[in-house]
């Protein structure tokens, strides 16, 4: 037998073993899901030498975790120390230990856990409270103030603080309001038991308000109890979600029955919803809500919209005041540092403004770029200081966590693969991150290339951060539609991270994330015969359809990339609706988009476009402010 033939035979058998192991992984995963311990054991034995054998062992041990002895569990944790699968099993084990209140073992294992869920945090707090830890109460209170459901393990710690008075009846009302604002009446009902019986909510009235807020409010003449006032406020909030004027008209008739604090609370919510709807009355309502010593504290989202109202109205003094009233951590966000600097410049306080803009200009973000331009500088990126060596890439390919992630990607288990990859790279140095990104690039896992490269702190590679695959396929469609390559790449990077077969929860498909109806409409316009939705994952088809639609949107919206990006995400009608009655600076338009997702989306797409233009060495490339432009008034 020749050496060449022997080598080929070895490769052939290795491929068979890999494929067989892959199939066994899918089978053991399904057997685990069905709780079939015998089948799990069978496949675990077959997978002993497969790269995913730790998962096979995990599935087997997890099914017997309630009865397994401590030594067996700890042996597994030691064998796969500092791995995702070990942390996952430790979390599962801690859930059992916490439920059983086996605090000695729990307290030994909990500090080693990385991914800490609320339920485990509450078990840890149960133990600390029982042990007399006085600082635990503060942490419990921080968990209390939320409008969402909390795990069952948190009920015991909440009960403990309520018994001692550390969580007061007023704290219960505060959380009820948070639940009402979140539209989560279930939470309000569940914590209603903590109020004295004579003060508790009337659940029948609450149900009527939730079912039909207008009808409920029309039947309310007088209401003297705190509980009744809270239900009326809840009904008004329900109405505010759909319509401003009707809620305000009803409020005008009944506001005299509320305290100054309650009036401030309602006006803050009224101003918030008016701001989101770009209602010109929002600023005055925010002023009323925050006036006087009885003002109800604004949430972070309301603080943000108070500042956005000032931006939209061009009231720079009100903007400065609004930012100064935000929580300290919120004031340090790049968006508010930038807009505070702009407001200071308007006030001729250039020294103070530059003290904010200079450090911000070094950040690789939308507002970092805006700050750089405000200082009169063009975008530039650091030169690639660190060149990854081939041996470093090879070494990274042999990393156990990377190997497991690659195996999971190979069998299209993307969710599990992403978790394994993210876990593995979490403490990597810049050099290791760049090597891992190169490995991902080699295997065509483009989302991991980008998401790994952007984690570097000191040494960067912007060709990895702003990866540009499929350029040969892209060029003819760009030429046909006369689109800016940097803009299209900036959009695709945000839409799909270049995953060709990705499908969103909403049903959007492929590189340019086309909704089936949109793809069908464009296919009709282009005369595509025998079109069916499965074609949209084909790279060439997706680019052809997506670029046509993007060009269509640009033509509809003054050929402005900002408006086109907003329209691509939220629809052309909304992009037009968000215009003002006067010309509006593009950056202000972007910052005052009502939808959180779209607001972030347009900023990232345009920021991406700048980096791609730089990487592509485009001549006479526009600044970010020029890309944003001035948005023309509504017609």
Q: What is the C-alpha to C-alpha distance for residues 271 and 207, in angstroms, rounded to an integer?
A: 26
CA nearest neighbour of 188 among 234, 119, 138 = 234
β-bridge mates for residue 351, sequence order:
none
Locus of tokens 């729990």: 106
Q: Give the contacts of 608 (CB within 8 A, at least 6 positions apart).
A: 466, 489, 490, 491, 493, 494
| CA separation, residue 576 to residues 144, 374, 440 (Å) | 41, 28, 40
Nearest to 200 by CA among 163, 172, 220: 172
Nearest residue to 545 (alpha-carbon basis) of 507, 574, 517, 565: 517
Catalytic residue among 495, 591, 597, 617: 495
535 DSSP 8-state letter: G
Three-state SS string across 127-173, please?
Answer: HHHHCCCCCHHHHHHHHHCCCCCCCHHHHHHHHHHHHHCCCCHHHHH
Spatial contact of 625 and 588, defined as CB atoms under 8 Å apart:
no
Which two three-digit tokens encode residue 495?
């839409």
CA 468 to each of CA 348, 485, 561, 612, 616: distance values in angstroms, whole numbers, following the listed order: 42, 10, 19, 8, 9
User: Is 243 part of the annotated catalytic residue set?
Assistant: no
DSSP 8-state secondary structure symbol assigned to residue 292: S
Instruction: Report the run of H or E that residue 585 belongs to, with start and end.
Output: strand 584-585
- The per-residue DSSP string of 176-245 comes to HHHHHHTT-HHHHHHHGGGS-GGGS--HHHHHHHHH-HHHHHHT-----SHHHHHHHHHHHHHHHTT-HH
Give me the DSSP letters along 12-71.
HHHHHHHHHHHHHHHHHHHHHHTT-HHHHHHHHHHTTTSTTHHHHHHHHHHHTTTT--HH
Tokens of 3: 């050496």
Q: What are the tokens at 469? A: 């695959």
Rounded CA-CA distance 386/182 in Å is: 47
Catalytic residues: 495
């Amino acid at each position: 037998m020749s050496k060449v033939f022997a080598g080929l035979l070895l490769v052939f058998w290795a491929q068979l073993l890999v494929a067989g192991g892959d199939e066994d992984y899918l089978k053991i995963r399904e057997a685990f899901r069905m709780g079939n311990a015998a089948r799990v054991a069978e496949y675990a034995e077959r997978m002993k030498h497969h790269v995913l054998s730790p998962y096979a062992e995990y599935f087997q041990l997890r099914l017997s975790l309630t009865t397994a002895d401590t030594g067996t569990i700890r042996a597994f944790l030691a064998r796969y120390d500092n791995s995702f699968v070990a942390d996952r099993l430790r979390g599962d084990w801690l859930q059992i230990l916490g439920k059983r209140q086996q605090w000695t073992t729990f307290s030994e294992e909990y500090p080693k856990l990385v991914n800490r869920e609320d339920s485990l945090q509450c078990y840890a707090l149960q133990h600390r409270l029982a042990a007399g830890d006085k600082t635990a109460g503060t942490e419990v209170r921080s968990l209390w103030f939320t409008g969402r459901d909390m795990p069952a393990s948190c009920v015991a710690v909440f009960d403990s603080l309520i018994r001692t008075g550390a969580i007061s009846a007023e704290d219960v009302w505060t959380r009820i309001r948070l639940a009402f604002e979140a539209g989560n009446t279930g939470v309000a009902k569940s914590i209603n038991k903590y109020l004295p019986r004579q003060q508790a909510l009337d659940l029948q009235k609450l149900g009527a308000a939730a079912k039909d807020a207008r009808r409920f409010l029309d039947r309310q003449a007088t209401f003297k109890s705190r509980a009744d006032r809270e239900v009326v406020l809840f009904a008004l909030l329900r109405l505010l979600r759909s319509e401003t004027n009707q809620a305000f008209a009803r409020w005008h008739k009944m506001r005299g029955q509320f305290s100054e604090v309650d009036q401030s609370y309602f006006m803050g919510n009224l101003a918030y919803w008016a701001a989101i709807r770009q209602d010109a009355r929002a600023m005055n309502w925010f002023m009323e809500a925050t006036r006087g010593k009885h003002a109800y504290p604004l949430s972070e989202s309301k603080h943000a919209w108070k500042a956005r109202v000032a931006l939209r109205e061009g009231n720079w003094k009100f903007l400065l005041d609004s930012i100064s009233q935000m929580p300290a951590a919120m004031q340090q966000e790049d968006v508010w540092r930038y807009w505070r600097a702009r407001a200071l410049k308007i006030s001729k306080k250039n020294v103070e403004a530059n003290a904010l803009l200079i450090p911000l200009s070094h950040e690789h973000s939308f507002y970092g770029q805006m700050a750089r331009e405000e200082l009169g500088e063009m975008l530039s990126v650091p030169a690639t200081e660190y060149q990854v060596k081939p041996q470093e890439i090879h070494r990274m390919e042999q990393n156990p966590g990377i190997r497991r992630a690659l195996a999971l990607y190979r069998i299209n288990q993307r969710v599990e693969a992403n978790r394994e990859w993210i876990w593995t790279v979490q403490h990597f140095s810049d050099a290791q991150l760049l090597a891992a990104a190169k490995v991902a690039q080699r295997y065509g896992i483009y989302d991991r290339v980008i998401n790994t490269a952007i984690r570097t702190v000191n040494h960067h590679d912007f060709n990895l951060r702003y990866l540009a695959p499929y350029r040969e396929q892209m060029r003819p469609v760009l030429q046909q539609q006369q689109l800016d390559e940097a803009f299209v790449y900036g959009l695709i990077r945000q839409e799909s991270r270049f995953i060709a077969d990705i499908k969103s929860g909403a049903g959007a498909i492929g590189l340019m994330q086309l909704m089936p109806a949109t793809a069908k409409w464009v296919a009709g316009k282009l005369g595509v015969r025998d079109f069916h939705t499965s074609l949209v994952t084909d790279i060439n088809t997706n680019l052809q359809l997506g670029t046509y639609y993007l060009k269509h949107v640009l033509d509809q919206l003054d050929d402005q990339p900002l408006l086109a990006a907003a329209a691509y995400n939220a629809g052309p009608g909304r992009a037009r609706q968000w215009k003002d009655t006067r010309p509006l600076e593009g950056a202000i338009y972007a910052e005052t988009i009502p939808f959180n997702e779209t607001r972030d989306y347009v900023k990232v797409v345009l920021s991406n476009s700048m980096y791609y233009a730089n990487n592509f060495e485009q001549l006479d490339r526009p600044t970010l402010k020029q890309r944003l432009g001035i948005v023309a008034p509504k017609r």
